[in-house]
Amino acid sequence: MGFEQPLWNSEVVERIETEYPVFLSAVYEHLETNIPRSLMGFSDAFWPEESPLFPRHEVVQKYLECYAQDVLPLIRFAAQVRDVRPTPHGAWSVSVLDLRTQQQQVATYDAVIVASGHYHTPYIPAIPGLAAWSAAHPGSVTHSKSYRSPAAFRNQKVAVIGAGPSGLDISRAIAGVCAPPLLLSGSSAGAGAPPGDARIAAAAALTRADAASRTLHFGRGRAAAGVDAVLLCTGYEYALPFLAGVRPAPGADGRRVAHAYRHVFFVPAPTLAFVALPRRVVPFPLAEAQAAVLARVYAGRLALPAAKDMERWEGEELRRKGDVHRFHDLPFPEDALYINEFVDWAAEASPRDGLENDGHGKKPLRWGEREFWMRARFAAIKAAFVGKGEGRVHVRTVEELGFAFEDASDEKDKVDHKAQADGR
């Protein structure tokens, strides 16, 4: 099912864009999704047929604004949550600052769900000499959060640190205007350079920066002198300053949220919860599946495990991941399995009169073989899309890029996804 009215409601969009303060975001001018729209949407909201397979950020923003139309009256814009803390009676006191009037208000809620995202506070790695470089050459070291367009790097010798999706995307854009080649530093030698792009040279992890000679030193003995600009595409920290009064502290180290059962429920007080903490995932359907469970738990239709069992899950997950910085990473097929596990968990809720779907309520979409197939290939699909150049704006389906689910061999593509995930 989809919207009964047109997806674009210009009056709603104009009101959102003009009435409220503007906050710095990590969105840059040429940003487009790295997930096919047929995989990344919500279950009950279709993308316009005329939008590209990988939509630009403006299309995604309007998609979200229109999806939120029925709850807009419930949203307080230009309202900054300053403090959330438990009350003696098991509720939550929430302090909110109105950014237009500068008036602060405090209200009490039975539950608080944190859905503030994790692309706000840049993560700056502790690379020897980098701080001295930044001080000696002001403005030459920046983070991708402040990146807007490649024009600022024209004719400069540029090093991009971090070869994740943003690092790759930004590198492709800057490589078209900077002094060749652009250096792209990944976690290992040769990591991340787009295949066949002679404008980009891969380098291992950055190990040291020498401000005096403007030389960067990478793993395996490589060095680059005369570098003009260093752009850090190193990701973000989990920043929860408004939870400073919560004990035990859920976000003390910035690299993960502690005591979050299944990346959602705060074990010491499960009426505090989080949505969309995981990384390396398809966020919209994942958040929808999480929300389905949250709604049923808070409605009393689902029960959580005992606190000791939820704590045990966290300990087992930490041991399995081996690195607390990767605690919230759910690389495929973990993210797809996670979505289905939450869909199945929500389906266990007892029915209630008055709800849709015979009393079961709104149901998120359970992923099938086609979704798993596309999720496993979307990096290759995106590469083929980028390869179309300016003409990619006219690409609507994966089939136009030579990918066809129907052509996949049943035996070859039938994978035991659970065993694959457990073996990581």
Q: Which of the listed residues 367, 393, 411 is the one where a domain comes to its end? A: 367
Task: Determine the pLDDT at residue 21.
Answer: 60
CATH no. for residue 308?
A: 3.50.50.60
Q: Which long-range contacts (CB under 8 A, 24 or more apart) does 296-301 make?
A: 296/346, 296/349, 296/361, 297/265, 297/270, 298/111, 298/271, 299/349, 299/352, 301/349, 301/350, 301/352
202 and 227 part of one domain: yes
Cis ω before 122 (30° cut-off from 0): no
Share of the chain above pLDDT 70, in %: 88
Are 116 and 256 members of one domain?
yes
Residues 281 and 172 in one domain: no
Asked if the structure places residue 70 within a domain, the reply is no
Is the peptide bond between 333 and the residue preceding it cis, with omega within 30 degrees of 0?
yes
Q: Looking at 70-79, 85-94, 189-198, which range is the least confident one? A: 189-198
What is the residue whose two structure tokens read 């910035």? 254
User: Residue 182 belongs to what domain range?
Assistant: 124-234
How confident is the model over 273-284, as a mean pLDDT?
96
Q: Is 252 found in the same domain as 115?
A: yes
Q: Decide if 351 is inside a domain.
A: yes
Averaged pLDDT for residues 328-357: 96
pLDDT tens-digit readout, 118-166: 998 999 999 999 999 999 999 999 999 999 999 999 999 999 999 998 9
- Averaged pLDDT for residues 54-62: 95
DSSP 8-state class, residue 56: B
> Cα torsion at 345, 346, 350, 353 (round to 10°)?
-170
- pLDDT tens digits, one per residue of 27-41: 999 999 999 999 999
Residue 352 domain flag: yes
For 260-321, list the strands marked E by DSSP: 260-261, 265-266, 272-274
Average pLDDT over residues 391-411: 84
Instruction: Using the predicted structure, report yes or no on whether residue 6 has a pLDDT greater than 90.
Output: no
Is the pLDDT at 307 greater than 90, yes or no? yes
Q: Which two tokens stand for residue 388?
A: 């179309």
How far is the C-alpha of 21 from the C-alpha of 195, rounded, in Å?
A: 42
Say if residue 383 is in the same domain as residue 352: no
Residue 423 reports pLDDT greater than 70: no
Query: Is 261 found in the same domain as 250?
Result: yes
**Tell me, what's the pLDDT at 13?**
39
Which contiguous run of DSSP H or E holds residue 18? helix 10-19
Q: Say if residue 165 is in the same domain as residue 21.
A: no
C-alpha distances out from residue 19 to 13, 78, 312, 346, Å: 10, 9, 47, 37
Average pLDDT, the chain: 89
Pick the more confident residue, 24 or 337.
337
* Residue 364 DSSP class: P
Q: How many domains does the chain have?
A: 3
**Is residue 324 domain-shared with residue 399, that is, in the same domain?**
no
Residue 76 within a domain: no
Is-contact 245 84, C-beta < 8 A?
Answer: yes
Q: Specify the higher pLDDT residue, 133 or 325.
A: 133
| Residue at which a domain ends, from 199, 219, 234 | 234
Q: What value does the mean pLDDT take over residues 400-410? A: 79
Q: Which of 194, 219, 234 is the last residue of a domain?
A: 234
pLDDT given at position 14: 44
Task: Mark whether 389 and 322 lie in a shared domain.
Answer: no
Are residue 250 and residue 220 in the same domain, yes or no?
no
- The H or E element containing residue 143 is strand 141-143
39 inside domain: yes
Lowest average pLDDT, out of 2-6, 92-96, 117-121, 393-397, goes to 2-6
What is the pLDDT averaged over residues 93-113? Answer: 95
Q: Higher confidence at residue 198 or residue 413?
A: 198
CA 225/CA 215 separation, integer angstroms: 4
Cβ–Cβ under 8 Å, residues 402 and 384: yes
CA 51-55-56 angle, to 5 degrees, is 120
Q: Is residue 354 part of a domain?
A: yes
Above pLDDT 90, what percent of the chain?
80
Same-domain status, 256 and 209: no
